[in-house]
């Protein structure tokens, strides 16, 4: 874990983002842009703020995930239910490049912040709208959540043991995948605007479709073969042996065998040279037919060895295997520590917080974590007074009437 390097401009320096989205998907877009130099102004409801502030594990009433997802942002409050709040939001959009929303389309329309209104008033702005079901269709205005997307996408249907129920992930998978998909959509829209001299446009992303894209093999199999994929636990017959295996000292490791050569290395690592040279176990089609047998062979061998012993054998054979980490092991891993995957960032609330560094590693303009999430409305004066030029008495009036 390392402290931040010397400050430097990121590749998105000069880009300004206004975010009114809440929870995870939309805010993830703004978080990623902010890591690489964009100025992000987060707009929250006065008095309550983003529900993510108190979501999940908390310390002193502050959500831990909130601290990370709010990194590098400027925090303002604004009541978008009022004409004064809507007008002030439009003033922000006048001087911004990207608008991130996650509200239902009907709410945005009531506020005059739907895409058609925004584009008419601010044609240069790229608007990204992340919703449960996307624009158009009978569900477009229904409230959507990641859990529902994980069910509808086919993820839950394929996850879990064969004789068990459909299984949902224990984290915000659909929100995270949608946030990443929307981020690269924003970058493509900005490229089109800035390189080709075009206006801004709408980036329409649902929670369902990005996850469905990752699971596309199920739709392809049904379309072309008429087969419906079910649950197979950790096993993937086309990549057998592929599973998690318990070691003699009660720990776990995972093995993958995506190609014939990798499968042969696994067989050598577990002392099964006979399998490594037998087409029945190396050829992908034949190996798939014997998936249960090869899985059991690996499980039996791993069960007789400690994790360190097993990993030594797998590493020596250059097989694809890795220990199953919990959080302490993840933070202690020497490779991740060498790469600076996690960074310890100063924070006024908690002293220091260990958060994950930006994922994409740019050699010349790396991403940064300048600061973590701050208090509700912490930057109202700097944004409304400094950026928009509102006088102190005007700010006092806006506070008194509850607009900010």
Q: What is the reported pLDDT for 3?
A: 44
pLDDT at 9: 81
In tens, the pLDDT along 66-97 reads 999 999 999 999 999 999 999 999 999 999 99
Boundary of a domain, candidates 290, 314, 331: 331
Same-domain pairing of 92 and 60: yes
Tell me how far apart the alpha carbons of residues 286 and 266 are, in angstroms, rounded to a whole number: 16
What is d(CA 288, CA 241) in angstroms, rounded to the nearest whole number?
A: 9
Q: What is the pLDDT of residue 249?
A: 97
Q: Are residues 326 and 384 in the same domain?
A: no
- Residue by residue, DSSP assigns 95-114 as T-SEEEE-S-HHHHHHTT-S
One domain for residues 372 and 255:
no
Q: What is the pLDDT of residue 8?
A: 56
State the burial class of residue 340 (Cβ atoms within 10 Å of its Cβ: 0-12, 13-18, 19+). middle
Is 232 part of a structural domain of the chain? no
Q: How many CB atoms lie within 10 A of CB 234?
A: 12
In a domain, 50, yes or no: yes
Q: Residue 210: count other Cβ atoms within 10 Å of its Cβ.
A: 23
Q: Are 109 and 186 in the same domain?
A: yes
Same-domain check for residues 276 and 365? no
The verdict on residue 219 lying in a domain is no
* 175 classed as catalytic: yes
Is 347 in the same domain as 312? Answer: no
Are 127 and 205 part of one and the same domain? yes
Q: What is the pLDDT, as a whole number, of residue 323?
A: 98
- Same domain for 381 and 288? no
Q: Active-site residue among 50, 79, 175, 204?
A: 175
Structural domain tally of the chain?
2
Largest CA distance in the chain: 83
pLDDT in tens, 199-257: 999 999 999 999 999 999 999 999 999 999 999 999 887 788 999 999 999 999 999 99
Residue 352 lies in a domain: yes
Same domain, yes or no: 299 and 351:
no
Q: Do β-strands 39-44 and 16-19 pair in parallel, antiparallel, or remain unpaired?
A: parallel
Question: Is residue 223 one of the residues assigned to a domain?
Answer: no
Look at residue 150 and give its three-state secondary structure. helix
Instruction: Residue 291: give the domain boundaries.
Output: 237-331
The CATH number linked to 318 is 3.30.1540.10
- Tell me the pLDDT of the chain (404 aa) as tens digits: 444 444 458 999 999 999 999 999 999 999 999 999 999 999 999 999 999 999 999 999 999 999 999 999 999 999 999 999 999 999 999 999 999 999 999 999 999 999 999 999 999 999 999 999 999 999 999 999 999 999 999 999 999 999 999 999 999 999 999 999 999 999 999 999 999 999 999 999 999 999 999 999 999 999 999 999 999 999 887 788 999 999 999 999 999 998 899 999 999 999 999 999 999 998 888 998 999 999 999 999 999 999 999 999 999 999 999 999 999 999 999 999 999 999 999 999 999 999 999 999 999 999 999 999 999 999 999 999 999 999 999 999 999 999 99
pTM: 0.93
Residues 143, 262, single domain; the answer is: no
Q: Are residues 133 and 272 in the same domain?
A: no
Residues 151 and 79 in one domain: yes
9 in a domain, yes or no?
no
């Amino acid at each position: 874990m390392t402290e931040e390097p010397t400050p430097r401009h990121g590749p998105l320096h000069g880009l300004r983002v206004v975010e009114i989205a809440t929870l995870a998907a939309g805010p993830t877009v703004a978080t990623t842009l902010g890591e690489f130099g964009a100025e992000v102004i987060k707009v929250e409801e006065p008095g309550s703020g983003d529900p993510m502030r108190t979501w999940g594990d908390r310390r002193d009433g502050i959500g831990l995930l909130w601290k990370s997802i709010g990194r590098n942002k400027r925090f303002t409050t604004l009541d978008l239910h009022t004409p004064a709040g809507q007008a002030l939001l439009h003033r922000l959009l006048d001087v911004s490049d990207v608008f991130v929303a996650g509200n239902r389309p009907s709410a945005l329309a009531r506020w005059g912040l739907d895409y058609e209104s925004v584009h008419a008033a601010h044609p240069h702005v790229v608007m990204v709208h992340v919703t449960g079901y996307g624009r158009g269709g009978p569900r477009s205005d229904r409230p959507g959540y990641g859990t529902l997307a994980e069910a509808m996408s086919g993820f839950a249907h394929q996850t879990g043991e064969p004789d068990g129920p459909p299984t949902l992930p224990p984290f915000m998978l659909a929100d995270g995948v949608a946030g990443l998909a929307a981020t690269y959509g924003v970058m493509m829209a900005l490229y089109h605007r800035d390189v080709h001299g075009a206006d801004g446009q709408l980036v329409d992303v649902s929670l369902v479709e990005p996850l469905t894209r990752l699971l596309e093999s199920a739709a392809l199999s049904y379309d072309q073969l008429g087969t419906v994929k079910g649950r197979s636990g950790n096993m993937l017959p086309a990549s057998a042996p592929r599973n998690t295996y318990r070691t003699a000292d009660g720990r776990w490791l995972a093995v993958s065998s995506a190609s014939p050569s990798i499968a042969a290395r696994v067989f050598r690592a577990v002392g099964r040279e006979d399998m490594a040279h037998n087409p029945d176990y190396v050829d992908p089609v034949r190996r798939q037919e014997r998936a249960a047998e090869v899985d059991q062979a690996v499980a039996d061998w791993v069960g007789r060895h400690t994790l360190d012993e097993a990993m030594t054998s797998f590493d020596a054979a250059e097989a694809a295997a890795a220990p199953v980490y919990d959080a302490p092991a993840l933070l202690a891993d020497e490779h991740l520590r060498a790469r600076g995957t996690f960074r310890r960032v100063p924070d006024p609330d908690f002293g220091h917080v260990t958060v994950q560094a930006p994922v994409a590693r740019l050699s010349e303009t790396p991403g940064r974590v300048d600061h973590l999430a701050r208090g509700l409305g912490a930057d109202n004066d700097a944004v409304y007074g400094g950026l928009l030029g509102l006088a102190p008495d005007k700010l006092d009036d806006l506070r008194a009437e509850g607009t900010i």
